[in-house]
Copies of this chain bind each other. A is one copy, B any other.
Amino acid sequence: MSVTIKDIAKIAGVSYSTVSKALNDSPLVKPTTKSRILKVAKEMGYEPNYAAQRLVSKQTKIIGLIWPTIERVVLSTLVTNISNEIRKTPYSMILSVEPFEASLDTFKRFQVDGIIFFDEHIDISIESNHIPLLTYGVAEKKVNHYPIIDANHEQAMFEAIKYLHSNLGHKKIAYIGDFSKTDRMQMEKLNGFKKAMKHFGLTINHHFLVDTKGLDWYDGYYAVSKLLESTERPTAIVGGSYDISGGIIRGIKEKQLQIPNDISIISYDNIPQMANMEIPLTSIGVPIEQLATEIVHSIIELIENKNLHPNIRKMKPELNIRKSCGRVNT
């Protein structure tokens, strides 16, 4: 059995209610006894029992994160950042990698104070039993059932094309990404690309729109290989994700093409790893730490105030210029 405040009380020679106060840093207990109690507690390896705390105080100080697709690098980086950010607050985080519904169930049982999830293609009007729910995903025109942190993929694409076109003179720009019809984030990226091209009066060569049908390294690799087989080549490529872009780089190199001399590449996702690639990648997207910070602050605000204003938070993407883009060759 684990150690309780009663055990501590016995050893420290005080009543357990005093122990409780000391543990909660109450001003009602004398500093000397307080520190003595704390010392004993530490020695005994005391850990408060969430169930008991929850039962009386209606709070667990736990945030649950649902993450069924654990094998994607970008998300794992985000999760790490969220975890680090939460560690700076009084809350802790636990994670469930089970399917959405099962995860929700587990978290309900634990009565976590709030839940974060990634809205990839879940279509849910969720019964969360009043547990505050926050999603990182895409704000829709229609009703949103819960607050959303939106990385503003459309805007990001706009900035990417603007840079490529207005600053560097590119006209023949390709997009290599996942054309999923169910993953809203991916849909937004593709959509944003098309819109931006149109905005700058650029025509989209349809064979410059390459569906990777996935988000992994080799998806990007295969896609770019196919794209470059044609003699009609783009002067710049926008890669739909970190992993995809990694594959794109290799595919380009394999064709003996130079980056950025022969071809420029700009990648979606703004994570530090971008700088460590074979060629430091110019990238676009909301910086991952900002995203994490916003997500964490928002869920806590939601937990503590029971609402969030505004309910939808669109983040501001940033362009990170590194070494993979150059002026177009004329």
Question: Which residues on A are within 8 Å of B, measured CB to CB?
Answer: 1-3, 45, 47-52, 54-55, 62, 70-71, 73, 76-77, 79-80, 83, 87, 92-98, 102, 105-106, 108-111, 127, 129-130, 217-218, 221, 246, 250, 253-254, 276-278
* Complex contact B95–A50 (CB within 8 A): no
Q: With a CB–CB cut-off of 8 A, which chain B residues contact A109? A: 47-50, 92
* Complex contact B92–A95 (CB within 8 A): no
In the complex, which of the residues B102, B110, B253 contacts A110, with contact meaning CB atoms closer than 8 Å? B110
Pairs A–B under 8 Å by Cβ, sample size 5? A50-B51, A51-B54, A95-B95, A110-B110, A250-B250
* Complex contact A277–B102 (CB within 8 A): no
**Closest B residue by C-beta to A80:** B70
* Complex contact B92–A98 (CB within 8 A): yes
* Complex contact A71–B62 (CB within 8 A): no
A49-B111, A93-B98, A109-B47 are contacts. A129–B2 as well, Cβ < 8 Å?
yes
In the complex, which of the residues B51, B80, B277 contacts A97, with contact meaning CB atoms closer than 8 Å? B80
Report A50 CB to chain B, min CB distance, Å: 4
* Complex contact A277–B218 (CB within 8 A): yes
**Closest B residue by C-beta to A2:** B129
* Complex contact B1–A130 (CB within 8 A): yes
**Closest B residue by C-beta to A48:** B109
Q: With a CB–CB cut-off of 8 A, which chain B residues contact A276? A: 218
CA of A77 to CA of B250, assembled, Å:
24
* Complex contact A76–B70 (CB within 8 A): yes
Report A309 CB to chain B, min CB distance, Å: 24
* Complex contact B96–A94 (CB within 8 A): yes
In the complex, which of the residues B71, B79, B108 contacts A77, with contact meaning CB atoms closer than 8 Å? B71
In the complex, which of the residues B52, B94, B129 contacts A3, with contact meaning CB atoms closer than 8 Å? B129
* Complex contact A50–B111 (CB within 8 A): yes
Q: With a CB–CB cut-off of 8 A, which chain B residues contact A50? A: 51, 108-111
CA of A83 to CA of B67, assembled, Å:
12
Q: With a CB–CB cut-off of 8 A, which chain B residues contact A278? A: 218, 221
